Amino acid sequence: MFTSQTTVAIESVATPAQQEQFLNVPWRVYQNDPHWVPPLKSDVAEQLSSENPFLQYGKFQQFLALNQKQEAVGRIVAAVNERLIDKEGQNVGLFGFFECIEDQAAAFALFEAAENWLRQQGMTLMRGPIDLSTHNNCLWLADGFDSPPKIMMPYNPPYYESFFLAYGGEIAKEAYAYHLPLDQGLNEKFAKGYRVASRSGITFRPLRTKGEAFETDVANLYDLFNRTFSDSWSATPRTQEEFMAQARSLQSLVDTNIFPIAEYNGEMVGFCMALPDYNIALKRVNGKLNWWGLLKFLWYRRQINTARVLVICCLPEYRRKMVPLALINAAFQQNKSYESAELSWVYEDNHSSRRLIEETGATIDKTYRMYEKAL
């Protein structure tokens, strides 16, 4: 038995007006939340456009929850990723882009709409939140609601988990974000790792961000990423076109001081992908990078003093040369621009990565979860 603040109707998104309502739902949900960072509406619209390469191997359907005044009070997207089905050998469907006011009946109606659509596609399991792919936004925040999210990390009200569990879902996987203070410098073991790697013939340089050199580096990043993370849970490889498109969208945001590349005999063998926490500036633009939003972004980006480490990647045969430790050292040992960094996200059962992160002295700051429900 569940209660509702209002009666809701579920509609499939089919018109530009409905799409605009869909994009605007978060502003209703988070209107009084000081930690929420509004997403760029143009980025969300692009992911849900007919031009998204995802449609070459998947399909999705958007749904809106409307109250009696025809106001949008919730949204969800149900998706089928054929690559994920092929990889896992089971008919797993996805839900994502979920946002809803604190109304359990509205949430249940949205979950039911996604579940019914997925069942019609022949799916037997619903997993999420995943916005089409784990390379996009995924996971719900389950602990650590007292501060804003770092760049490209999820944020949501605490009640989302309780709604999905009450609907019959289960926790499928837990993940963590680690906080690393940098004001006291890194442990000496990282400098030692850098020396060991250097004596082994490993060289370090920053990512190149201009012209053909950038294209070459990104192509090598793509190859190394796929070779290293091919077995990641619920993830499928992106095409080089998809990877390159995302890299170009982030090209102007890169701080080369915290994006070191490790090479051996001219071949890329590892990298540390870190970005300044642009959420500090994006929080001020309210989802729109028009001329005024861009001016505000450029002004407030000067206040950025934290970073997020998205990926530490190294070929297995070079880990014994202490390349992962050396990459962290190369990024942050001499860098005085950042007072702290978040290393996120890492799954609970990724013990090797967690050991490396915890060797830095970083501690768990936020907990995230993925969920499943049998259909």
From 63, 69, 76, 78, select the one nearest 18 (Cα to Cα).
Answer: 63
Q: 373 near 125, Cβ under 8 Å?
A: yes
Per-residue model confidence as pLDDT tens digits over 8-27: 999 999 999 999 999 999 99
| CB atoms closer than 10 angstroms to residue 76 | 29
Residue type, 106: A
Class level of CATH domain 184-338: alpha beta
Largest Cα–Cα separation, the chain: 70
Residue 161 has pLDDT above 80, yes or no: yes
Give the per-residue pLDDT at 2.
38
What does the pLDDT average to over 221-244? 86
N-to-C CA span, the chain: 20
Task: Tell me the backbone φ, ψ of residue 324, rounded to 5 degrees.
Answer: -60, -45
Residue 298 has pLDDT above 60, yes or no: yes
Query: What is the residue-averaged pLDDT of the chain?
Result: 92
Asked which of 164-178, 284-298, 360-374 is least confident by mean pLDDT, the reply is 284-298
CA-to-CA distance for 87 and 231, rounded, in angstroms? 9
* Residue burial 337-348, b: 16+ Cβ < 10 Å; e: rest: ebebbbbbbbbe
Q: 344 near 177, Cβ under 8 Å?
A: yes
Do 9-174 and 184-338 show the same overall fold?
A: yes
Contacts of 105 (CB under 8 A, 6+ apart): 2, 3, 4, 5, 8
DSSP 3-state of 367: strand
From 278, 334, 346, 336, select the one nearest 307 (Cα to Cα).
Answer: 278
Residue 278 has pLDDT above 70, yes or no: yes
In the chain, where the domains are located: 9-174, 184-338
- H-state helical runs in the chain: 16-29, 41-47, 82-88, 104-120, 159-167, 188-199, 211-228, 240-250, 279-282, 291-300, 316-319, 323-332, 351-359
For residue 6, name the pLDDT band (cuts at 50, 70, 90).
Answer: low
Q: How many CA atoms lie within 13 A of 314 on its CB side?
A: 24
Give the per-residue pLDDT at 82.
95
Superfamily classification of domain 9-174:
Gcn5-related N-acetyltransferase (GNAT) (3.40.630.30)
Residue 285 has pLDDT above 50, yes or no: yes
Residue 5 has pLDDT above 60, yes or no: no
Per-residue model confidence as pLDDT tens digits over 111-157: 999 999 999 999 999 999 999 999 889 999 999 999 999 999 999 99
From 335, 278, 331, 274, select the one nearest 302 (Cα to Cα).
Answer: 278
Give the gyration radius of the chain's Cα atoms.
Answer: 21
* pTM of the predicted structure, to 2 decimals: 0.92
Q: 326 near 194, Cβ under 8 Å?
A: yes
Contacts of 284 (CB under 8 A, 6+ apart): 296, 297, 299, 300
Per-residue model confidence as pLDDT tens digits over 82-124: 999 999 999 999 999 999 999 999 999 999 999 999 999 999 9
Report DSSP state, residue 229.
S
- H-state helical runs in 204-315: 211-228, 240-250, 279-282, 291-300
Per-residue model confidence as pLDDT tens digits over 41-93: 999 999 999 999 899 999 999 999 999 999 999 999 999 999 999 999 999 99
Residues of the chain above pLDDT 70, percent: 98
Of the two residues 232 and 15, the one the predictor is more confident about is: 15
What does the pLDDT average to over 348-358? 91
For residue 4, name the pLDDT band (cuts at 50, 70, 90).
Answer: very low
